[in-house]
Each structure stands twice: as structure tokens, then as C-alpha cells.
A and B are shown apart, each in its own frame.
Chain A
Amino acid sequence: MREMFAEDRERLKELGVGAMDKSARSQARQARRVRERLANSAALTVLLIAAGITVAALAVIILYVLIHGAPSISPRFIFTWPHGVNAEGGIWPTIVSTIYVTALAMLIATPIAVLAAVYLAEYARQGRIVTIIRFAADSLASVPSIVMGLFGLAFFVDAFHLPMSMLAAALALALLMLPIIMRATEEAIRAVPRYIRWGSYGLGATKWQTVSKVVLPWAMPRIITGLVLAMGRAIGETAVVFYTMGMAINMPLTPLDSGRSMAVHLYMLAVDGINLKAAYGTALMLMIIILVLNSLAHLIQRRYRKVR
């Protein structure tokens, strides 16, 4: 710190305020300043390059999938069934299965996760139980997906005798989405300004009235953003679905029907390596869905910011 002040003193001297006989030292100072400025711009350039690499990696992957996948995308590809040994034709049942299982998982996970977040943010007193719940949520979020898949197999399929089905997969996926939605909701609730709550309480509203009619509506855009992102996670999940839903190509009707999700379909096509055209097409469809969901999340957030 003193050095910095000293530097300023030197600058003053340079301007002719102080003695001139220390010009050698002042030159050294100046050289150091130049060096510092160089180091600064070099470091900032490195930061820029790092960010550039990150964006470039994304661009390369998207472009690659787009270029190779676009030729195979057609209404026929989207709306017909795969047939033959090498899954020629379309991917329609896999799209339906993916949407089916994701929707079901959302139906299961959303109420539980939102209410759990309400508990953590509004009701719980900080203490051991809250610490345990938070730790559990963090752990749940970091359970490797293969472990989640094996758990789904051992618990829902083996122990509960569910068939490999939409329901079993949705339950396992719900567990996967739970911490994501919980965290998003809790953050959203915490971002609700205090005075709004005070207003509500001041009018004599009970806690639940305040939460359900004031806090949650206010936090809704951010909660929905979290939901959309969790949905993206579920759609792209492979290992969990693989062991709980199976890989039979099937049009699911009831929640107890099996099916093959798009991600599993892509995995099998890619690993087989014979019908790569369909693999690229499926990859592109998956990317489009994820892209749409992400933009949706952004849109919701931007609109909500404008309103605020």
C-alpha cells in the first residue's frame, strides 16, 4: 500500500513538484508501470481467450450436430416409427416416450420440491434438521446418474415390482430433479422482498396465506425457470432411464408401459454405429428441445425482469 502511495509521490515529482535528481528512480518506476499495464492487458486477454474457448466449444458442438443432423430431419423422421434391425425410419415413439416420462416426472417432483423449498425458506428454523435436509439435497444433486439408475432398478423395479416403465423411470427422474427444483424455488422465495411479506402479515394474513397468495406468485417466474431447466436435465438423462424404462421401442399408453427415450435411442444408435444418420438426426432433435427449453427459461426471466 505504501508502495502505491510512493508511486503517486513519484508521479508528482515527475510533474516537477519534487526534486529532479531522482530521475533514474523515476524511470524505473515508470518502467514498472508499463510492465504492470502490459501484465494487465496480457492477463485480461487470457481471460477473454478462456471465455472465447468456452463459447467456441459450444458453437462447434452445435454446428457439428446441426450440419450432420439437418439432412435427416424431416416430418417423416419425426412422425414415423423406426423399423428394421438398424432402426431405419423415424423416431416418433421415442419422442412421445421422452415427453411422457418427463411430464410424469415433473408432475411427481414439482409439488414435493416446491413445498420442500417453502419449508426451508419460510417455515424451518435454522438448526440441525435444516442442515441435514440441505446436505441431503446437495448429495442428491451430486449422485452420479448411473447410481441413480441402479437405485431405480433395485428399488422401483426389483423391490416394488414395478415393470420397467414410464412410472418407474419418472419416479427415479423425479428424485433427480427434486434438488434442482428445490434449490431454484428456495432462491426464488428468498429473493422476494421482505416488505411484501410484512404487508401481507400486517393485513392479518396467516403464514400459508402469505406464502400461497403473495410469496409464491411473486417468485413464480424464477420457479418456472428452475422447472424448465430441470426438465432439460431429465430429457437428456440416459443412464437413469436406461435401467428403469428399458429400451424397447414402444408407444406408451399407460404409465406402466415401457418405452425408449430419445437419449437412450441416441446412445444405442451411436454405440452401434451402423445407422449414424438417424443418430445425428436424434442428436439434433434433442439439442433443439434443450435449446428451446433454455431460451424459454431466459424469456421467462427477461419478462419478469421487465415487470419488476
Chain B
Amino acid sequence: MTPFTLRQADEQDQTLNPGMSPDLATTSPQHKKAELTLVSRTTQIKERALSLLFFLCAIVAVLGVVLIFAFVAVKAVPLFKDIGFLNFIAGTKWSVAQSKFGVVPFIVGSLVVTVGALAIGAPLAILTALFLSEVAGPRARAVIRPAVELLAGIPSVVYGFFGVTVIAPVVGRLFGGAGFGPLTAWIVLSIMIVPTIAMLSEDALDSIPMGIREASFAMGATQWQTIYKVVLPAAKIGIIDATILGMGRAIGETMAVLMIVGNAPQMFAGLTKPIATLTSQIVLGMGYASGDFQTALFGMAALLFIISMGLVLTVRLLSRSKREEGQGA
């Protein structure tokens, strides 16, 4: 019996990995004992320890999120005492010189910039995804998909630099003023969020079974009818998810926005009038901030964190409702 078990252990390793040393057999002396179990005790312990290690690695992500919120929030806590939460979240005036830290102008600024960027970027991205998934032949796909991926890879500073040197002058010439403001930010940001939305939407579209489309075609529907009445409704939730995540990207975008919105801490006054966003104001202030000012900036960061968590949570809930729907049907 003993030699048989031993040889079996050897064979396992040999077959699995030709040319590799049968470390299981050599490293565990237990194999010399006649045990009836296929794996030795040390191996079992090793397996246990490993799975614990993997679990700890997976927990790092949770730990990271918790720590991020904790450390940003801790720095923002004095806000409640020194500035007053209401003065902060509902205050409409930001003036460091007068110790007024109302962030409403920046929240409005972030909203204006994000909504506009979505209004331009989302349709563009979804249509691009539809083209990729439903219409394009392999050759077109081989050009467009890498292009979309590359757009995602371009550093945001490069986008910002492009915005400053190309888009802002054009906007300035067309609409008067210096060309910094929401409009410029819309144009640049909408390009930046296209890859996020397009790639995720394409995933959603690709996951729809081919059979649905074939059924539609078989009934004489045109390609557009199939897309519009069959494919889009089926992929709706996935596309909404993609759009929400694109929204997160737009709200959180920092360097590019800082370079093109004009950074005026005023309420939204017009499409070509300079404004500031939560992100841009943090960067501009962080360099020299101290005391209440720094607290306010960390408060803004905590706010951004909460917003982005909220968006992720929305996506989660949407996907779950979809899954339940799918199970119900």
C-alpha cells in the first residue's frame, strides 16, 4: 500500500508539470508514512494557510476603502466645530481671506461640468459602443476598439494640456472672453469619459445572447429596429451602469478640469464664465492651506468620496435588481 500512495503522489506532479520537481513528495516527509489520505497533513495545513493568505489579500481592498474614508474624514472632522457643517455644505460664499468656506459654488460647478460632459459624452459613447457591437465588421472593430482603449489610457494632464492650448482659445474666439469655463470643460471631459462608458456599454451589449437578435431579424426587422427595440432594452441596465460610472469619472476628474474651468470660486454664471469644481479647488488650495482652510479642503475630499461611493452603490443596486428581474422571468 505504501509504495503505491507514494508513487501516485509522484505521478501527479510529473503529469501536471513535466520537468518540475515533485516538491510535494520531497518536501513532506509524511509521505514516507503510510497514510491513506491522498494529501498529507502538511499539505492540508499549507492549503489552509494559503487560503487564509488569499483572503487577507482580498481584504486589503476593503481595508483600503475604509482607511481612505477614515483618514480623509478625520482631517475633515474639525469642520463641524470650527466652520459649522451647515456653513460648509450650504454656504454660498467661499473666501479664504474672510474665513468663509461655503462649498455650494463648487458643488454646483462640479454638477454643471459633469452633467454637460455626460450630455455630450454619453450619447457619443453609447452610439460608438452600438456601432462596435452591432454594426462594425472585424476590420472597423480592429481600428475603433484600440482607439477607445487608447483614449482611456491618455493621462488626464495631457487632456488638460490639450484643453488649455487648443480648446480654450477656440471657445474664447467663438464666444468671447478667455475661453475658460464649463463649455470648455464639457468638450474636454466628454472626450475623457467616452472610453469608460463605451467599453462598459460594449460589454453589456456583447453579453446579450445572439439568439435574440436572430429572432428579431427573422421576423423581418431592420438592423436599426433590432437595435432600438430589442438590443437596447435588453442592455439597458448595463448601459445605465456604464453611464453612472462615467459620471463618477467626470466628477472625480481633477487635473484636466483644473486646467480648463477657470477656477473662479463663484456661482455658475454662464457657459463661458469661469467656475470652480470641488476637485479643482482642492488642488489650488492644498498648496498653501492650513487650519480651517485645510479642514474645509479635506471636507470637500470626503464629500467627493461619499459621492463616488454613492454612485458605485447605485450601480450595485441597479445590477442586483436586474439580476432579480432576470431570475423572476
Contacts and interface: CB of A to CB of B under 8 A. Distances in A.
A and B touch in the complex (CB under 8 A): yes
Interface of A: 1, 4, 7-8, 36-37, 39-40, 43-44, 46-51, 53-55, 57-59, 61, 64-65, 111-113, 115-116, 118-120, 123-124, 132-133, 135-140, 142-148, 150-151, 154-155, 159, 175, 178-179, 182, 200, 203-209, 213-214, 229, 232-233, 235-239, 242-243, 263, 266-267, 270-271, 273, 276, 279, 283, 286-287, 290-291, 293-294, 298
Given A64-B166, A133-B59, A175-B68, 6 more contacts: A50-B131, A124-B58, A144-B254, A175-B64, A207-B47, A208-B47
A51 B123 CA distance: 11
B96 interface: no
B68 A138 contact: no
B227 interface: yes
A189 to B, nearest CB: 12
B304 interface: yes
Interface string B138-166: 00100110111111011111111110111
Contacts of B308: 139, 142-144, 147
B111 to A, nearest CB: 15
A112 B57 contact: yes
Contacts of B65: 136, 139-140, 143
B157 A270 contact: yes
Nearest to A55: B147
Contact of B156 (A65, A135, A139, A236): A236
B147 A58 contact: yes
A145 B39 CA distance: 47
B78 to A, nearest CB: 13
| B13, B220, B245: most-surrounded residue (chain A CB, <10 A) | B220
B212 interface: no
B102 interface: no
Contacts of B312: 135, 138-139, 142
B61 A57 contact: no
A219 B325 CA distance: 32
Contact of A57 (B74, B191, B249, B301): B191
Given A116-B58, A147-B72, A204-B12, A54 B254 contact: no
B135 interface: yes
A40 B64 contact: no
Nearest to B43: A206
Nearest to A41: B224
B20 to A, nearest CB: 8
Contact of B157 (A47, A229, A238): A238
B259 A40 contact: no
B157 A58 contact: no
B61 A136 contact: yes
B235 interface: no
A243 B219 contact: no
Contacts of B136: 51
Nearest to B227: A43
B234 interface: no
A178 B146 CA distance: 23
B255 interface: yes
A266 B309 contact: no
A223 to B, nearest CB: 15
Contacts of A65: 158, 162
